A and B are shown apart, each in its own frame.
Chain A
Amino acid sequence: MKNSFRLRILAILMIVCLPLGAIAQTRSSGRSDAPSVVTVSFSFKSAPTGVAGYQGTDGDNRFYIEFPTSNKPTASISDIESSVEIRREKEKSNDQTTVYSVTFQRGTSPRFGPGGSGSEMVLTFTPEDSSSIAVSTKPAPANPNPVISNVMATPAGAAPANTNATNGQTPSTPSQPKPSAFDETREKVNLANLDLSVPESPAFVVLGLTPQTVVRPTSPRQFASSLLNGIDQRGNLQSGIALDFAPYMIYAGDKLTLKQYRESSLRRFFARTQTSFATTKGASEGDKSIRAAVGFHFTLMDRGDPHSDAKLMECFTKNLQLPPPPASISFSPSGEIVLSEEDQKKRDEISAKNVAASEECRAEGRKRNWNKSSWIVAFAPAWISPTGETKDFSYDGGGVWTSVAYGFEGVPGLEKTSQLIFHARYRDNEMVPEPEMEGTFFKQDGLFLGGRARVGNENSSVSFEGVFQRLRRVGMPFDNSSRLAFGLERKIAENIWFNVAFGGQTDTPDGTRKGFVLTSFKWGFSQKRTFQTPNQ
C-alpha cells in the first residue's frame, strides 16, 4: 500500500514535471534587455472605420488607439514578455468611442497602420537605433507632439468617424493618464473574502484562486487534492485542480509517532510542511490561459494543532474500544491463524463504532480549536501560457506571504468565538489578463496587507475584512487602494460550504468607490473521494 502510494506521488510528479520541462525549454532561449521589435495586432469585427492612433506627450510612453465602441477589436502581442502593455482608458472612453493605451518600452518608436487583412490594424514598436526595420521615418524632432500615425484604415472613400483624426491633424493631446491603473480590472467582480472549507492550497493562492485575500492559516494534510471552479481575483472564470501533499509524512510518516511529533519541533515542522502543485485554466472566451504553480507552505506555530489537544486524547482514550481477544487460536497447515467469523464480525462492529466515536471527538476538538492562534509562511513560483498551449509556458513571477491568526486565548467572551487574522503578501511579475481585451496580458506587481476579524463557531462565521493593496504595472508607479468586505460563511451540508460577501473598494486617486456582492461554493475531495471537514 505504501509503495502504491509512493508510485502515485511519482506519477503526479511526472505529470507536473512534463509542462515544467516545456517551460524550461521555452525559457532556455534567453532574452536580451535591449529593445526589440514588438507588434500589436488589433483585429476588428468589421472594417476599422474611425480608428485613430496617437502618441502620449510629456514623457507619457503610451500610444493611444481610438475606435468606435461598437467595433471593439481583439488584440495580440507578438512578444508577451515584452514591456508592451494594453489597457482600456476608462476616462477617455464613452458609449460611442473607446480608447486603448499601449504602454511601450522607452527607446522604441511606435508605428500604426493597416495590417494584412482589411479588418486588422498593426502597431509596431521599433528600436530607435534599428536600421533593419523600415516601417516609416521617425517623427520630426521639432514637433513635440507628433502624430506617429493617423492612418484611417478605411476602405477607399470611406469617411472616418473620428473627428480628431480625419483631417490629418494631430488629435487632441490626451490628458496625462493618471497612474491609477486597473480601473477596468476593478470593475469586474472583485474578491470574496471568506474562509472556505478546503484549506488554501499554496499553489492556488499564488494563482489568485483563493477567493479571500487574507489567507487563513490552516493545517496541512498528508495528501489531498482540491477542485475549484469560480472567479479569480481579476474576475475571470477559472477552473483548476491542486494537489497538496506533505513530503515528510509520505516518506517518513509511517514511523513518526505521536510522542516524536509532540516533542521534536523539527519533526513537527517537517511533518507540517506542505508542497502543492496546481494548474488552472481560463474558462472564458477572453482568457484561455493555463497557469501552473508550485507552492510551499510552512507552519511555524499552531496552538490549535489537534495532536497537542489533551482533551482530544482523553476523548479517544475513553471512547475507543478494543474487542476481546480470540478465546483460542489454531494454526492452519500453512502456519496461518484465521479468526472465527464471530470474532471477525465483532471486530468489524467495534471498528465502525470507533470510527464514529473518533469523529465525535474530533468534532468537539474543532469547537475548541477552530479559532486558535497560528502562524504560517508560504511561497510559490508560477508559470503561464497565455494561449493555453504548453509550448507557450513562461515564468509568471511568484508570491510570498504570511498569515498570523490570533485566537484571543485566555480572553473571556472572545476565546471561543473570535479570531483575528493578519496577512501580508507580495506578488511579483504576475501576468494579468487585460479586461475586455481578449488574449492580451500585462505584468503586475502587488503588495497586499490585510486583516480579518471572524466571529462564529466551527460551522458558521461572519467576518469583516480590510485590505490595503498596492499594485503597479511593470515600469509604472504603484497604485494604492483599499477594500472593505463583510462576509457570511455557513456549512450547508457535510463538506459543502456556502459563502456570501458584500463589500466596497476605493480607488485612488479619484476616490471612486465600487461595491460588490459575491457568493461561492467550494468543496474538496480526497484520494478516497470523501469530503474533508473544515479546519483540517
Chain B
Amino acid sequence: MPVNNAILRSAGSLPKIEIIVGFAHFAKFEFFIYDQAGQNPVKFAEGVNSDDVPDIFEIGTGGTVAALDKRTIFWQAAIASPTGAPGENYSVIIRVMQDGQIVGTDSKTGPMTNPLPYGFIRLAVE
C-alpha cells in the first residue's frame, strides 16, 4: 500500500488529523501512531461520526512537532450505510492539518461489501 506523506513545519503548532466519511455513512474509527522504527502502535484517537464530537484530533498531544518526525500514523474505519441500498460505495478522506493548512491527505473508496478501509500517513518535519 502506497503511503502518503504529511510535511510539518517544526515552527508550527501540533498538527491535527480529521476523518471525513462521505455518502452520509456511519463510521467507527481509530488512529494509531507508530514510532520511527514502525513499532509500538499507540492509539491516540477513536470515535464515531454519529455523535456531536468533532471528528478532528490533535496528533502528539503533550509533545512537540519535532518529535513527530519520521513517525507513521495508521488509521482505520468500519463503515456502515444507514440505508443499506445495494451498490453503494464508501468514501473516506483523512486530512492532516497544521495551523489551519492541509499538509497531508489520504483517501480510500470502495464498495460497501468490504467496508473496512485503512491507511498510513508518514509524518516528516522540515
A contacts, CB < 8 Å to B? 1-2, 5, 219, 221-224, 249, 253-261, 271, 306-307, 309, 312-313, 316-317, 320-323, 325-331, 335-339, 347-348, 350-351, 354-355, 358-359, 361-362, 365, 525-528, 530-533, 536
Contact = CB atoms under 8 A, between A and B. Distances in A.
12 contacts: A253-B22, A257-B20, A257-B49, A306-B83, A307-B83, A313-B48, A321-B78, A336-B3, A337-B72, A350-B116, A354-B80, A533-B84
Given A317-B28, A347-B118, A329 B74 contact: yes
Interface in B60-88: 72, 74, 76-78, 80-88
Given A261-B24, A527-B86, 17 more contacts: A222-B88, A254-B23, A254-B93, A256-B23, A257-B22, A258-B21, A258-B49, A313-B26, A320-B78, A322-B116, A323-B116, A325-B43, A339-B1, A347-B118, A348-B114, A358-B81, A362-B83
Nearest to B2: A336
B30 interface: yes
B80 A361 contact: yes
A532 to B, nearest CB: 5
Interface of B: 1-3, 20-30, 32, 34, 37-39, 41, 43, 48-50, 55, 72, 74, 76-78, 80-89, 91, 93, 109-116, 118, 120
Given A253-B23, A255-B22, A322-B28, A358 B116 contact: no
B52 to A, nearest CB: 8
B104 to A, nearest CB: 14
Nearest to A532: B86
Contact of B23 (A249, A322, A329, A536): A249
A330 B36 CA distance: 10
Contact of B32 (A223, A224, A325): A325
B7 to A, nearest CB: 15
Contacts of A317: 28, 48, 50
A276 B24 CA distance: 21
Nearest to A305: B82
Nearest to B32: A325
Contact of B3 (A328, A337, A359): A337
Contacts of A322: 28-30, 76-78, 116
A223 B39 CA distance: 43
Nearest to B47: A317
Contacts of A530: 86-87
A326 B86 contact: no
A320 B39 contact: no
Given A313-B50, A327-B41, A307 B93 contact: no
A536 B83 contact: yes
Contacts of B20: 255, 257
B87 A2 contact: no
A528 B28 contact: no
Contacts of B116: 322-323, 347, 350-351, 354
